[in-house]
Structure formats: C-alpha cells, structure tokens
Amino acid sequence: RYFQVARCFRDEDLRADRQPEFTQLDMEMSFVEEDDVFAAWERVLGEVFAEVLGETLTQPFPRMRWSEAMDRYGSDKPDLRIPLELKDARAFAEGCGFGVFQSALASGGNVSVLVVPAARELSRKDLTQLEDVAKAEGAKGLAWWKASAAGGSGPMARFCADGKAPGLMQSISASEGDTCLFVADRYLVTKKSLGAVRLAVGRSWLQQAQEGAASKPARKFLWVTHFPMFQHDAQSGTWASEHHPFTAPEDWTMGGDEPDLAAMASRAYDLVYNGWELGSGSVRIHRADVQQRVFQILGLSPEEQQQKFGFLLEALSFGAPPHAGFALGLDRCVALALGLDNIRDVVAFPKTASATDLMCGAPSVVSPSQLEEVHVRTVLPPS
C-alpha cells in the first residue's frame, strides 16, 4: 500500500475547479475492494472536517450506481442538496399524440420530465433561459406544462386534454400548479439536458434559501459507482475507455463472446460533494487475459499491445494482487469546504485562463545551458 501527497501537472482546460498545477492526495492498496477504499476516505474526511471545521459528517456516505444517477438526476455528479428528480414520461408520451415525443421513442430515445414545485414560480423569461440551458446540452427544445387535473396550461396542455392530465400527474408525482419540463431525445441527451436544467433551477433556489441563513452549509457526499466501461465514438466507430484502460470490469468474463460494450459497467467510482467531483478511482485490472481483452476492444493489435504495454502484460502474467486506488484534489476539497466556487482562491500561485502565473511571471524563457542540464533540445520552426 502507498499513500502520498503528489504535486500534479496536467495539460487541460482551465475551468473554475481546475488548475494545470495542483496537489493531490493519492493512494493505492492491494487485496481490497471498493468498500475498503470508501471506508478509508470516509475516515480521513470525517476526522479532517471534525478537527478543522468542528463538523460531524454523516457516515457512511450514500452510494449510487452511475446508471441510477443519470436516471434520477441527469448527472454523474448530482447535487443532492436539490430536492428535485427526473421522472420517466414514456408511458404518457406513447399515447399523448405529440409527434416529437413519439418520434423520439420510435428511434429508441427517451422522454423525461422535471417537475418544479409551484412554490418555485417560473416566469416566461425563466422558461426561455432554461430552454437555452437544455439546448446547450444538445436538446432540441424544452416543452412545458403547468399541471392541473382540469387540463393545465402551456404548450403541452392540448396533449393533456381528454382526461389525460390526472394520470400524467400521478405518474410523474406532480401537484396542482407545478411546472413540468419535458425533453425528448436520445437517452444521454435527454438526461444531461434536464440534469443541467435541474441544476439551474435548484442552485438559484438554494442560493435564495441560504442568503442570510445562520446555519452551517449543507454537506452532501455521494459515491457514484459502476461507471460505463467504454464509450463509443459515432464518427470513427471505435470504442474508448470511459475512465482509463486499466479499470476493472464489473463482470470479469467481459460479457463472453458477444459482449454488449455499451451496457458494460466498470468498477470505477467518483466521490461527489454538493455536485462537484472531489476525486476518482477504480479497482484495477490484475489479470493479463482481461487486460489483453480490453486492449483488443480499444483497437490495439497484439503487436501494438506488446510494443506499448508488453512490460505490464508480462508482469500481470506472473500473478498480481487485486488492487484499487483513489485520488482526491486537495485544492478543490479546501475550496469547496470553505464554500468557494473557484480553486484559485486557495492556491498560493494560481494560473490565469492562459496558464500564466502573474506572481512569478511564468512561463518564462530559459537559457540554453538550463535546457542542456535537463537534456532538452528545442527546434525553432522555419521563419
């Protein structure tokens, strides 16, 4: 087993919760399962929050499979402070007569709905802005209905006439005056777009509720487990690893001779805090035959496997212990624990959006002698 504080450098886009240079708490342990990893980190976080902030975290943290998180929240990092869930509306869509819904279902898609309570009144301006949020995630539009057993109002009202309204309200747990927001599209587009709408509605709601509140902020932790093993690139027709190619599958047989790669689950997991990813990890592949099968699915020939990963396959062939790991971003954890949205506020020398350090003036030009010391040679492009 090892546990380390690692200084990391990554070439990635600079969002509010990311920096090219950050500090990571990292671990890898042999002869463990997910439960062992979760217990270790819950103990660490529980003791730190108690000692530093004087708060007791509710443990154990809840757990949820990726598929359930997408179904209920439209996100692989759901903010559990928001008491809104997505509901399935396929039964209504099949018989409502709305061509857009029926077309989506006929092509294997999905129809889902987000029910916003009447207490959270949405204006026409709000609905327009929420439609833009949905479209930004790939949805073609956002249909809405003001629920009422008498038929309701809004663009969807005519499809809820003739006595359909009470049954719809019961199936999606809607009450009189609630605003029901529908999306019909491919499964992931439907869920992700409504998940983004849920966040937009819920976080503004939370902000209003917390303004002036004297109580401590709510802290909702969640382990999201069993992410997809692979993701498909429709343009190239190839498969890639959802997490990384060394992540163990849930089913060590890899689905037999004719596996359903789209449905195959992995043993990858994320720790989520108030809708933000704190860290991620997985149970690793410790068998050479499974690792070779994964490489094969990813399109690596036997020759390429030996050329790029021969050392690993040889090591695994001698017998490796089952093992798992996890890493947590320390800067992000500190920022979120303090209620900050940007980790630049807790980093000593933060980088700007162009990856420039304004305090140190980095990156800067280095001399040829300095390059020679680290055996680096630069080649200038022709002018």
Q: pLDDT by residue for the chain (383 residues), tens digit each?
A: 999 999 988 776 666 567 888 899 999 999 999 999 999 999 999 999 999 999 999 999 999 999 999 999 999 999 999 999 999 999 999 989 899 999 999 999 999 999 999 999 999 999 999 999 999 999 999 999 999 999 999 999 999 988 999 999 999 999 999 999 999 999 999 999 999 999 999 988 777 766 655 567 789 999 999 999 999 988 888 999 998 999 999 999 988 888 899 999 999 999 999 999 999 999 999 999 999 999 999 999 999 999 999 999 999 999 999 999 999 999 999 999 998 878 888 888 888 878 888 888 888 888 989 999 999 988 888 87
pLDDT at 361 (0 to 100) = 86
Amino acid symbol at 329: G
- Prediction pTM value: 0.90
Q: Cα dihedral sign for 302, 307, 310, 312?
A: negative
Q: Which residues pair with 180 in a beta bridge?
A: 115, 145
Burial of 366-380, coded b for 16+ CB within 10 Å and e otherwise, reads eeeeeeeeeeeeeee
How far out from the chain centre does Cα 317 lie? 34
Distance CA 377, CA 323 (A): 39
pLDDT at 13 (0 to 100) = 66
Residue 153's nearest CA partner among 183, 127, 185 is 127
Q: Which residues pair with 368 in a beta bridge?
A: none
pLDDT at 341 (0 to 100) = 78
Place of tokens 């479209």: 135
Burial of 215-248, coded b for 16+ CB within 10 Å and e otherwise, reads eeeebbbbbbbbbbbbeeeeeeeebebbbeebbb
Q: Cα dihedral sign for 309, 243, 323, 48?
A: positive
pLDDT at 24 (0 to 100) = 92
In the 8-state DSSP scheme, what is residue 49?
A: I
pLDDT at 111 (0 to 100) = 96
pLDDT at 215 (0 to 100) = 62
Residue 38's nearest CA partner among 282, 217, 330 is 282
Distance CA 18, CA 344 (A): 8
pLDDT at 17 (0 to 100) = 64
pLDDT at 340 (0 to 100) = 86
CA distances from 44 to 49, 61, 350, 368 (A): 9, 13, 26, 46
